[in-house]
Structure 1
Amino acid sequence: MDSSVMEQVYFVALVGFWVSLALLVLCYALFPITLPFVSEIFKRRHKPQPSGQAFLPTVSILISAYNEEGVIERKIHNILSIDYPKDKLQVLIGDDGSADRTAEIVASYADRGITLVKAPKNAGKAAMLNRLHTHATGDILVFCDANTMFFPNAVRKLVGPFIDKKMGCVCGHLILSDRSGSVLGKGESSYWDLESEMKKFEGALDLLIGGNGALYAIRRELYTELPVKKSVMDDFYITTKILQKGYYSTFVGSAIGTEQTSKESSGEYRRKVRIGRANFNYLLSYLPLLNPFRPLRAYLFFCHKVVRWFSPHIFVLLALCNAILLPKGLFYQVFFGVTVFCVIVGVSRMVPHAYYFLMMNVAMLKGFFLSFTREKSGGWAREARGDDDA
């Protein structure tokens, strides 16, 4: 090949290498390290404070369930033990065509204030949440999963920040525990601890990027109907639409829920593929968050979500550019060797966190490609969890 052409190839590879490396360092090192300082500098200084009288708005708890007979009764007892005025609390549990005893169990608690909303057929979580929203009467909607167990004061803590009229969404603190002992389960638990820390600092800015479907609350009038033609991350879709409407979104670490990780590594991997696919399905609808006139919000969304979602693509580009640059010096040769070593460590499962990181990026990449294929709308793909049959 002509030397001038090769020099152009090297130049393009050089630019690709350093841009890719810079984005990954920003996402996985600089952003989380500097986030506490950013949150301290730019946090809201003047927030409405609660008066002497307790702020207790009407609340509707929405739970979408499918084949949850293993945990649904325990969840109902957990809801019934919540420390919140019963006359201000509506509990709606949607059964989305379960093939087990979920609906029967829920219906047996009708005399204790638990309302069953039954779908005629299995249509998926998004369709069920839309249905539950039409039945909700509370000023505040609290969303949670059937396997998420609340601390008694969780609802009180969640609704507190809504005393601020501009507060649109409040996310609680989900604590994941790994009873399964799977490699991905261990990695997921550790990852979620770090993610919760990042949510805490984004919450200090009242610019939390995405809630968690296991434990979050919104104003009822801010609910955006979920699309049902393709899979969607319902919690992320709903909460980001609230940010796009100009409302605040925050994190309350004292509103605590607990949950178990997936029972098997393969189940966790499939779940991550679905999450990746759902994120890319509606990526274009999230891009208004990159509005340069809202620079702080754009920075958080870009670093925390966009770069992370495209991390597998960036890793592949980095490796390809690195391979092209091998003749250009010792640095690129050493870097390539370290990269190969890290991949081997991850694949071998010697370090659970490395394996989790590797597999989650593979899952995200698979989800990206699946987002371009036809998808059967509706339905659920439930994975076994560590608390099943507990």
Structure 2
Amino acid sequence: MSEEVVFYLRVAFWGLFFLLALCYVIFPVTLPFVSELFKRRRRDIIENFDLPTVSLLISAFNEEGVIERKIQNILEIDYPKEKLEVLIGDDGSADRTAEIIARYADKGITLVKAPKNAGKAAMLNRLQKIAKGEILVFCDANTMFFPNVVRKLVAPFEDRKIGCVCGHLILSDKSGSMLGQGESSYWDLESEIKKFEGILDRLIGGNGALYAIRRNLYTELPVKKSVMDDFFITTKILQKGYFCTFVASAIGTEQTSKESSGEFRRKVRIGRANFNYLWSYLPLLNPFRPLLAYLFFSHKILRWFSPHLIILLFILNALLLPFGRVYQVSFGFLVLAFLVCVTKAVPSAYYFMSMNLALLKGFFLSFRREKSGGWAREARSDE
């Protein structure tokens, strides 16, 4: 192997190493300092800001086990009833979901029933067209709100430039599965990242379980392929020049998937949906908006492509074994890390490996034809 080839292999190796370090170490560790240096000061405040009208939108499919508890939770929300509209879409459920929702018509709960199962994105598009509120609040059927959530979510809209507000979802695990526990721990870290991105008012992607937007900023969701509705909608708001923020005190709770296999399948679907529309998110890398580009690249792009980077790093490291002790040591570390993951000796390491495998599978599935619409519901640890 020529010296020139070895030189380029070394450059590629250390470049990949830096990108992975940026994603998993440098970015999260330095984000608190970045948020303090560049935090946004809100100036475009609406005088005499009054509580806006709100439409709460829920797309449900086969949720008979949880929908009544969710409705009772909604009825306990501390917000003026005359300013709160509740629209629950039943997307062709095969169980008693629609029947249960219909019982609460006299309590201000509106059932929007689809003739057949078309998918969450299609139902949200339909609900948005019906909604009358100035602010749209999105949540899932299995997400339980604290009573003050809506008040907390609408407060930042006092600033005209705020287009999206994300609440704080707390995940708990009753399944005891390794992936369920890992997801709960991962979400705690993700919430910390969201908190600091919220200080910057540049939150990269909301959470479908608990977020709000201005109705006039809604972008119709594509339905030909699966899409992460929360990420698609919130990134389009950022692309329009508005800001997205995070409110840690707007709290909702949710359970993880009941089985490890369910958590893995969910991550595959998320990965596939994100790769399906990756091209539409690339404007966030606009160099003329450097802070937003840095956050999107470090938080999302590098994480989505982590499995690709890790595989390439392993291959390059193997090729460089004869050219220095440092490469022999790093290769040994990579092999040891792989064994720790595979043997499940460290639960968090096993979770990390499983989620990267799910991302990789989602990446390859994104190149295949996909039936539009439809749901793939996973049992949750509280069922």
Query: Do both share a fold (TM > 0.5)?
Result: yes
Q: Distance in 2 between matches of 1:149 and 1:324?
A: 52
Is residue 23 of structure 1 aligned with residue 19 of structure 2?
yes
DSSP-derived class of the 1:268 partner: helix
Aligned counterparts of 2:343 and 2:112: Cα–Cα separation in 1: 46
2:156/2:162 contact within 8 Å kept = yes
Instruction: Report if the CA contact (8 A) 1:124-1:380 is conserved.
Output: yes
Q: Which amino acid aligns with 2:68?
A: E
**In the alignment, does 2:10 pair up with 1:14?**
yes
Q: Who is 1:106 aligned against?
A: 101
C-alpha displacement at 1:45, in angstroms? 2.5
1:346 Cα shift? 1.1
Report SS of the residue matched to 2:176: coil
Q: Which secondary structure does the structure 1 equivalent of 2:163 belong to? A: strand
Partner residue in 2 for 1:85: 80
Q: TM-score, normalised by structure 2?
A: 0.98
**Contact 1:346–1:354 (CA<8 Å) still a contact in 2?**
yes
- What CA distance in whole angstroms lies between the structure 1 residues aligned with 2:142 and 2:12? 44
Q: Does 1:41 align with 2:37?
A: yes
Question: Matched residues in 2 for 1:48 and 1:81: separation?
Answer: 32
Out of 11-20 and 182-191, give the one that drifted further: 11-20
8 Å contact 1:169–1:239 — kept in the other structure? yes
CA distance in 2, matches of 1:46, 1:82: 28
* Residue number in structure 2 paired with 1:280: 275
Contact 1:124 1:378 in 2 (8 A): yes
Alignment of 1:1-390 (within 5 A): 3-4=1-2, 7-47=3-43, 55-388=50-383
Distance in 1 between the 2:4 and 2:376 partners? Answer: 48
Uncovered stretches (5+) of structure 1, i.e. residues with no partner: none
Whole-Å separation in 2 of the counterparts to 1:385 and 1:12: 48
SS of structure 2 residue aligned to 1:256: strand
Against the structure 1 CA distance between its residues 120 and 28, is the aligned structure 2 distance closer, same or farther, given a 3 Å change threshold? Answer: same
Instruction: Report the TM-score when normalising by structure 1.
Output: 0.96
Distance 1:13 1:123 in 2: 49
Take 1:318 and 1:346, find their aligned partners in 2: how far apart are those partners? 17
Deviations 1:145-193 (A, max 9, x none): 0000000000000000001111100000000001111100010000000
Offset at residue 341 of structure 1 (A): 1.1
Matched residue of 1:210: which SS?
A: coil
**CA distance in structure 1 between the aligned counterparts of 2:126 and 2:314, rounded to whole angstroms:** 46
> Structure 1 residues 46 and 135, CA, compared in 2 at 3 Å: closer, same or farther?
closer
Q: Secondary structure at the match of 1:90?
A: strand
| Cα distance in 2, alignment partners of residues 84 and 336 from structure 1 | 58
Task: Give ranges in structure 2 of 5+ residues lacking alignment.
Answer: none
Report the Cα offset of residue 9 of structure 1: 3.5
- Aligned equivalents of 2:184, 2:42: Cα separation in 1: 35
Shift of 1:329: 1.8
Superposed CA deviations along residues 295-331 of structure 1, whole A, max 9, x for unmatched, are 0000000000011111100001100000001111221
The alpha-carbon deviation at position 48 of structure 1 amounts to 5.3
Distance 1:50 1:371 in 2: 43
Contact residue 71 and residue 387 of structure 1 kept, 8 A: no
**Runs of 4+ off more than 3 Å:** 46-51
State how far apart, in whole Å, the 1-side matches of 2:208 and 2:164 are: 12
C-alpha RMSD of matched pairs (Å): 1.2
